[in-house]
Amino acid sequence: MAERLSQIIGKKVGFVTDCIGPEVEKAAGSLKTGDVLLLENLRFHAEEEKGDEAFAGALARLGDVYVNDAFGTSHRPHASIAPITRLLPAVAGLLLEKEVDTLGGLLKEPERPFAAVFGGAKVSDKVTVLKNIMGKVDCLLIGGGMAATFLKAKSCEVGASAVEEESINVAGELMKQAEKHNVRVILPVDVIVAGEIDAGARGTVVPIGAVPRDQKIVDIGPQTVAAFRKELEKSRTVFWNGPMGVQEIPQFAAGTESLARLLPKLKARTVVGGGSTADVIDALGLSAKVTFVSTGGGASLEFLGGAALPGVVSLMDKK
């Protein structure tokens, strides 16, 4: 990694095989202005994830100023994220600042209409953020595996699709809240189904209500893609988190890729919520064509869910 980093920045990057201890302190102490030193992975020490104060102290002895530019891990109270800020002058990096400003803007003053697109496997992973943005969005578009749970809550047949039984009532309540806040919830009207989820499986398009009992939903269908497109083309702010299908298997990636290719064409502020969604955008070469791609999947959802991220909170009172 040090060798690759050296190639990218055009100068030698040093490397040490640990991140704390006398040898690391000696290497850090010998750095001259402009030198770069790469440390070993902090998580090789169990104390890092435990938020250990002594471990944070050992890290703090290596520098004069602490900069957190890792939004993707700022939702974790690890030693290098929160405790260290109490031991050194600490500031946010430019990327962390942009993450907070961009995602915070979605909650405070989004340009209307504001559409949020959610996919992925589980409703339970997104309940908090769905509740928190309910009064701030104009439309919710639900796809991916979590759509099966929402459809089940409306008594629709979803065949052999994975359903979070414990989240069916939650999905029903979320739809009631949406109606109360005049938020439109757009669910799939057709889907791609397959008997098995593997590279050799073949999909079939069926309307909702006609999903065979032995088939699993693996993607949204073409009519759903068109309905989602129509809604997004009216929007001025769009947030997207979670694939629309099993995008790892090419024949079940059409819905996800269709939405990804649509985003740059919208006359809207387009924000992608990290994780596998960001991977899709990057793989299609679209990262520079949307407004912002978050570097944190879990962190972005926690932030939009109203959680106080340890890595952000610990910097708020710094000057």
The answer to whether 150 and 196 are in contact (CB under 8 A) is no
Residue bearing tokens 């079939």: 204
pTM assigned to the model:
0.92
Strand partners, 240: 117, 272
pLDDT at 319: 61
Contacts of 304 (CB under 8 A, 6+ apart): 103, 106, 107, 129, 132, 133, 239, 273
The answer to whether 311 and 81 are in contact (CB under 8 A) is yes
Q: What is the DSSP letter of 77?
A: -
With a cut of 70, which residues of the chain have pLDDT below it?
318-319
How far is residue 191's CA from residue 115's CA, in Å, rounded to a whole number?
A: 21
Tokens standing for 304?
């939009």
Domains with residue ranges and CATH for the chain: 2-96 (3.40.50.1260), 98-304 (3.40.50.1260)
**Which of 213, 212, 230 lies closest to 222, judged by CA?**
230
Q: What is the distance of C-alpha 202 from the center of its chain?
A: 29
pLDDT at 297: 87
The answer to whether 14 and 44 are in contact (CB under 8 A) is no
**Which of 182, 83, 169 lies closest to 127, judged by CA?**
169
How far is residue 297's CA from residue 124's CA, in Å, rounded to a whole number?
A: 15
Tokens standing for 110?
């989004």
Q: Which amino acid is at 153?
A: A
Strand partners, 37: 14
CB-count burial class (<10 Å; 0-12, 13-18, 19+) for 96:
buried
